[in-house]
Amino acid sequence: MPVAKPVAKPVTIPVTKPAAKPTRPPNAEDQATAFAHDLIEFIAASPTAFHAVAAAVRRLSQAGFQRLDESAPWSLQTGGRYYLTHNDSALVAFVIGRDDPATSGFRIVGTHTDTPCFRVKPAPEIAAEGSYLKLNVEVYGGPILATWLDRPLSLAGRVALASRDPLQPKTVLVDFGRPVAVIPSLAIHLNREVNDGLKLNKQVDLLPLLGQTPATFEKKGYVQGAVARELKVKEAEVLDFDLFLYEPGRGELVGLEGEFLHAPRIDNLASTHAGLAALMAAGAGKATTVLAAFDNEEVGSATKQGAGSPLLATVLERLVHALGGTREAYFRAVARSFLISADGAHAVHPNKGEKSDPTNRPVLNGGPVIKVAASQSYTTDAPSAAVFEALCRAAQVPVQRFLNRSDERGGSTIGPISSAHLDMRAVDVGLPMLAMHAARELTGRRDPDYLRRALQQFFQS
220 band by pLDDT with thresholds 50, 70 and 90: confident
Taking residues 152-174, report their average pLDDT: 97
pLDDT at 28: 80
What does the pLDDT average to over 393-415?
94
Over 90: is that where the pLDDT of 50 sits? yes
- pLDDT for the residue numbered 10: 46
Q: Is the pLDDT of residue 134 over 50?
A: yes
Model confidence band, residue 216 (pLDDT cutoffs 50, 70, 90): low
**Is residue 307 over pLDDT 60?**
yes
* pLDDT at residue 11, as a whole number: 43
Alpha carbon distance 98, 112 (integer Å):
28
- pLDDT category at 360 given cuts 50, 70, 90 is very high
Q: Is 14 a residue whose pLDDT tops 80?
A: no
Question: 65 Cβ partners below 8 Å, 6+ apart?
Answer: 81, 82, 83, 93, 280
Would you give the DSSP letter of residue 125?
E
Q: What is the DSSP letter of 301?
A: S
Rounded to an integer, the average pLDDT of 237-250 is 97
Question: What band does 26 get if pLDDT is binned at 50, 70 and 90?
Answer: low
Kindly tell me if the per-residue pLDDT of 105 is higher than 50: yes
Confidence of residue 457 (pLDDT cuts 50, 70, 90): very high
Count Cβ atoms within 10 A of the Cβ of residue 264 and give its class: 0-12 exposed, 13-18 middle, 19 or more buried.
buried
Edge-to-edge strands, sheet with 238-246: 170-175, 154-161, 238-246, 117-128, 132-140, 209-212
Give start and end residues of each alpha helix (H) in 168-291: 222-231, 266-282
- Residues contacting 265, CB < 8 A, separation 6+: 43, 46, 47, 115, 246, 247, 441
Half-sphere exposure of 317 (CA within 13 A, CB side): 10
Q: What average pLDDT does the segment 364-368 reach?
A: 98
Strands 288-294 and 106-112: parallel
**Is the pLDDT assigned to residue 2 strictly greater than 60?**
no
**Cα dist from 77 to 97, 98, 118, whole Å:** 9, 10, 42
Residue 388 has pLDDT above 70, yes or no: yes
**C-beta of residue 154 within 8 angstroms of C-beta of residue 445:** no
What are residue 349's DSSP bridge partners? none
Residue 273: strand pairing partners: none
Which amino acid is present at 262? H
pLDDT at 215: 61
